[in-house]
Amino acid sequence: MTEERQTALKKLESHLSCAFRDITLLDNALVHRSYVNENPSLSFADNERLEFLGDAVLELCISDLLMKAFPDYSEGQLSKLRASVVNEQPLAELAKKCRIGSFILLGKGEESSGGRSKPSILANTMEAITAAVFLDGGFDRAYEFVRRLFTPLIEEGNRSATYKDYKTTLQELSQNRFREIPRYRLIGEYGPDHDKLFESGLSIPGIIETTGKGKSKKEAEQHAAHKALDELLKNTHEGE
């Protein structure tokens, strides 16, 4: 391994907040098969075996974290939430936050086609790095690595799943009962850019109007939908 590569890997360790005893494991986790295919004379192995192991390590760690965080959730709810966390999109976003794309070894063809920003490559590399942490320091170290990086994704995944249910349920109820689709509008944005608060309005014409606030437009809309659902269901029960 060249001195330049070692320096680059040390930089990535700082992005990951994780120091390796065997830095070659991290290096191997960053080797895409396109690089190996274009450099057959080099004794490199690609990261696909690590990706395979990392997928299993992630699933076990995330499953345990979910069971501890949500002791009242059913198996179905836990499975749904795990699937929202351990999939290509959130893994790729996490890889971007850790700046992993800059350190992946790619073949020239993959490089020229934008491979460093491809979600599939980033997500697979994130899994491979998780395996490298496991092999380097054991399960406890891998668990802490996953807990630190993935807890915000778990919290966001739980909010998204809950909010999706509110909006979906409200739309189905509104279409079936009133033949109307809820309409959403942005009322305002408040606070500094790093800590914005959004307020959204919801209207089912002639039926109900609510507002909701949240850290994103989507979250604000979901709070408005939750209020509308509560009100409509309350009125239904009172009329029985």
* Residue 221 assigned ligand-binding role: no
The better pLDDT of the pair 27, 80 is held by 27
- 180-238 in CATH: which number? 3.30.160.20
- For residue 126, what are the contacts with CB-CB under 8 A and spacing of at least 6? 54, 91, 92, 94, 95, 98, 100
* Residue 127 assigned ligand-binding role: yes
Domain ranges for the chain, please list them.
Answer: 3-154, 180-238
* Residue 124 assigned ligand-binding role: yes
Euclidean distance between CA atoms 144 and 156, whole angstroms:
19
Q: Give yes or no for residue 83 having a pLDDT over 60.
A: yes
Cβ-contact 228, 202 below 8 angstroms: yes
**Other CB atoms within 10 Å distance of the CB of residue 203:** 17
Percent of the chain at pLDDT above 70? 94
User: Residue 87: CA atoms inside 13 Å, Cβ hemisphere, count?
Assistant: 10
Q: Which of 46, 110, 127, 221 is catalytic?
A: 127
Cβ-contact 201, 224 below 8 angstroms: yes
CATH superfamily name and code, 3-154: Ribonuclease III domain (1.10.1520.10)
**Other CB atoms within 10 Å distance of the CB of residue 166:** 20
pLDDT in tens, 128-143: 999 999 999 999 999 9
Q: Is 136 a catalytic residue?
A: no
- Find the helix or strand (DSSP H, E) in which 184 lies: strand 183-190
pLDDT in tens, 13-44: 999 999 999 999 999 999 999 999 988 888 77
Question: According to the model, what pLDDT value does residue 233 have?
Answer: 76
What are the φ and ψ backbone dihedral angles of 185, each rounded to 5 degrees? -145, 145
Euclidean distance between CA atoms 179 and 148, whole angstroms:
46
Q: Give yes or no for residue 238 having a pLDDT over 60.
A: no
Question: What pTM did the predictor assign?
Answer: 0.67
Q: Is 55 a catalytic residue?
A: yes
Q: Which of 55, 110, 136, 219 is catalytic?
A: 55
The better pLDDT of the pair 158, 122 is held by 122
Nearest CA to 150 out of 65, 25, 80, 56 is that of 65
Strand partners, 214: 198
- Mean pLDDT computed over 75-104: 88
Structure tokens at 240: 């029985």
The better pLDDT of the pair 201, 78 is held by 201
Euclidean distance between CA atoms 204 and 82, whole angstroms:
33
